[in-house]
């Protein structure tokens, strides 16, 4: 037995008081959460670049030319190993996260981006191990470059975190 019921209607009534301010519980965009990752990568790229390279014309003796080539090789090797290790670590992390979060397709890349600065430390450790096991002619220069990459990556991530905090603090204003 079916009963005849009147249809349900929804009616919006005007507010009784003035409209209050709107407070957003969500953040502004997806990018603000990833500022620490962007900062960490940008800092590491900055640390990877070699500045203050001597002018080739200033290298007048064969020893100076050879020394500069050794320094250049130490820096290049360190940078290559660091970025290769970082790429492999990030790829493995993304693959594992994708398998672990099969039902949520966008969750794995999001988690990987959030944890990206954490992958920079193992890349530094792998590179330090590589320098120890296969030392270049200028081992101290290789370590200096690696320290520079790591410190600038950390500072970039720290600036990104500060940017995220400032973003969250200013959103309610």
Where residue 124 falls among pLDDT bands split at 50, 70, 90?
A: very high
Of 130, 5, 2, 21, give the one whose Cα is nearest residue 78. Answer: 130
Of 125, 129, 120, 130, give the one whose Cα is nearest residue 86. Answer: 120
Cα gap 118→160, rounded to integer Å? 14
Q: Which residue has the tokens 């200033």?
A: 58
Cα gap 37→43, rounded to integer Å? 10
Q: How far is CA 165 from each of CA 75, 84, 171, rounded to the nearest angstrom?
A: 35, 31, 10
Give just the sign of the alpha carbon dihedral 147, 150, 152, 155.
negative
Cα gap 128→132, rounded to integer Å? 6
Helix, strand, coil fractions of the chain, as percent rounded to 5:
70, 0, 30
Q: Which residue has the tokens 């407070």?
A: 23
Q: Which residue has the higher pLDDT, 96 or 152?
A: 152
Q: Residue 24: what pLDDT?
A: 46
Q: Residue 25: what pLDDT?
A: 47
Lowest mean pLDDT among 49-58, 78-87, 109-118, 155-164: 49-58
Q: Which tens digit of pLDDT belongs to each residue from 27-72?
A: 445 555 678 888 888 999 999 888 777 777 677 788 887 888 888 8
pTM for this one?
Answer: 0.73
Neighbouring CB atoms inside 10 A of 90's CB total: 19
Q: Which tens digit of pLDDT belongs to each residue from 88-114?
A: 998 998 888 888 887 877 777 777 777
Q: Which residue has the tokens 């209607």?
A: 9
């Amino acid at each position: 037995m079916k009963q005849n019921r009147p249809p349900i209607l929804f009616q919006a009534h005007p507010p009784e008081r003035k409209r209050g301010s709107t407070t957003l519980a969500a953040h502004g965009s997806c990018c603000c959460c990833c500022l620490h990752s962007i900062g960490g990568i940008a800092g590491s790229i900055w640390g990877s670049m070699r500045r203050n390279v001597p002018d080739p014309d200033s290298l007048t003796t064969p020893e100076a030319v050879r020394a500069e080539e050794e320094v250049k090789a130490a820096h290049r090797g360190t940078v290559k190993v660091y970025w290769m290790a970082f790429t492999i670590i990030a790829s493995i992390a993304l693959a594992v996260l994708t398998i672990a979060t099969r039902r949520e397709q966008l969750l794995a890349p999001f988690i990987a981006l959030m944890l990206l600065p954490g992958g920079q430390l193992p890349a530094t450790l792998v590179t330090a191990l590589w320098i120890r096991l296969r030392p270049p002619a200028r081992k101290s220069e290789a370590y200096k470059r690696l320290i520079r990459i790591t410190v600038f990556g950390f500072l970039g991530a720290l600036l990104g975190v500060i940017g995220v905090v400032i973003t969250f603090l200013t959103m309610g204003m």
